[in-house]
Amino acid sequence: MYLDARHFGAEMWARRFPTILAACRAHGIDPVTEPIPVAPAAHYASGGVRTDLRGRTTVPGLYACGEVACTGVHGANRLASNSLLEGLVFAERIAEDITARAESAGRERPAERTRPSAPAASGDAPLLASEARYEIQHIMTHGAGVLRSAESLARAADRLERVQDEAVAQLRRDGKTAEPGVETWEATNLHLVSRVLVAAALRREETRGCHWREDRPERDDAAWRRHLLVTLRPDGTLDVRSTDSEAFPPTTTPEPRRSPAREQQHFRRPPATRVPAAAADRRPR
Ligand SMILES: Cc1cc2nc3c(=O)[nH]c(=O)nc-3n(C[C@H](O)[C@H](O)[C@H](O)COP(=O)(O)OP(=O)(O)OC[C@H]3O[C@@H](n4cnc5c(N)ncnc54)[C@H](O)[C@@H]3O)c2cc1C
């Protein structure tokens, strides 16, 4: 796939797009005289760790902010540039919340804690080697990328399972997991996030927002205008459930202390849609 921008001409390329021109030339491509090879890429992951409007997750004391979080402000897609803005807004809200909680507990700031030790990797869930990241990226790009189908997602799920099986087999063979560190934990967590994403994408049998199912090209509000919640069970398997309505599922924490009027002003939701009885039968689990 190519992007042909030769019609801009040398002068326009140099004046309007000097950075892209330099990057292309650094990679041996001259966009002034030849088409640029391109590939579709995802530049945001919709969904994430569920939080309330103060960044609180369902785990007491744990906050999530930025691309890892699902705050409910984006829906199934994200408007351009809203992710950096979200990081800014929610970082401030989280800082406010932490300070307020510390003050209400009679302290100025949370007590110093010793650094928690890294969670142990178990026999069935070993740490993946950092190189596994490239295989996971390959699996996800081809099976769960911009375009996906039930078939490609099932293949991705199968291959992700094999990555896990190989790591378990290696642990049994060599008696040790990959060396604990940021890169190995990143690869291990990427693997889990990929499994969650593929499981949810397989369940959602429609096309919505930035998710395009080639085998289900239509948006289906009656059956699917709702959220998918994925929980990791203690045995490592995933529980995928759908909410009963489009309302963003609450975390277990109390409602925000901000005035309702102020929240609504910033986070107005569309009015609830009624699901016809016939469609209710087709509701996913
Ligand atoms: C090509 C591209 C273009 C984009 N363009 C825009 C744009 O124009 N406007 C916009 O608003 N957004 C844009 N985005 C999205 C935006 O860049 C991201 O949403 C944002 O940077 C996410 O910030 P973050 O801090 O939440 O996560 P990240 O920037 O991903 O930071 C997470 C950090 O945590 C580290 N980490 C991960 N695991 C561990 C671990 N176990 N231990 C320790 N550290 C760990 C990672 O190494 C990383 O440094 C773009 C994204 C891409 C890919």
| Separation of CA 43 and ligand 1 centre (Å) | 9
pLDDT of residue 262: 46
pLDDT of residue 120: 58
- Binding site membership of 206 for ligand 1 (Cβ less than 6 Å): no
Pocket test for ligand 1, best of 38, 43, 192 (most atoms within 8 A of CB): 43
Atom in ligand 1 nearest the alpha carbon of residue 86: 11
The tokens for 225 are: 């205008």
Give the β-pairing of 147-148 and 212-213.
parallel
Across 26-40, b (16+ Cβ under 10 Å) vs e yields: eeeeebbeeebeeee
- Binding site membership of 67 for ligand 1 (Cβ less than 6 Å): yes
Query: What mean pLDDT is predicted for residues 203-210?
Result: 94
- Binding site membership of 267 for ligand 1 (Cβ less than 6 Å): no
Q: Taking the CB of residue 167, how many other CB atoms lie within 10 A of it?
A: 23
Helices (H), 7-122: 9-16, 18-26, 82-104
- Binding site membership of 180 for ligand 1 (Cβ less than 6 Å): no
Look at residue 69 and give its three-state secondary structure.
strand
pLDDT at residue 48 above 80? yes
* More confident: 88 or 116: 88
pLDDT of residue 280: 38
Which residue has a Cα nearest atom 40 of ligand 1?
182
| Separation of CA 83 and ligand 1 centre (Å) | 9
pLDDT of residue 43: 83
* More confident: 272 or 237: 237
**Mean pLDDT, all residues of the chain:** 85
Strand partners, 147: 212
pLDDT of residue 103: 82
* More confident: 225 or 109: 225
| Separation of CA 281 and ligand 1 centre (Å) | 40
Query: What mean pLDDT is predicted for residues 14-41?
Result: 94
Q: Which of 32, 39, 63, 37 is nearest to 50 (CA)?
A: 63
| Separation of CA 215 and ligand 1 centre (Å) | 30
Confidence of residue 281 (pLDDT cuts 50, 70, 90): very low
pLDDT of residue 285: 40
Angle made by CA atoms 246, 247, 251, in degrees to the nearest 5 = 135
pLDDT of residue 139: 97
Give the start-to-end residue ranges of the domains of the chain: 2-37
Pocket test for ligand 1, best of 67, 77, 90 (most atoms within 8 A of CB): 67
**Distance from CA of residue 225 to its chain's centroid?**
19
In the DSSP assignment, the letter for residue 62 is: -
| Whole-number Å distance between alpha carbons of 215 and 52 | 34
| Separation of CA 67 and ligand 1 centre (Å) | 6
Q: Which of 42, 80, 86 is nearest to 64 (CA)?
A: 86
pLDDT of residue 170: 87
| Separation of CA 149 and ligand 1 centre (Å) | 27
Strand partners, 49: 69
pLDDT of residue 123: 66
Angle made by CA atoms 204, 253, 235, in degrees to the nearest 5 = 55
Confidence of residue 119 (pLDDT cuts 50, 70, 90): low
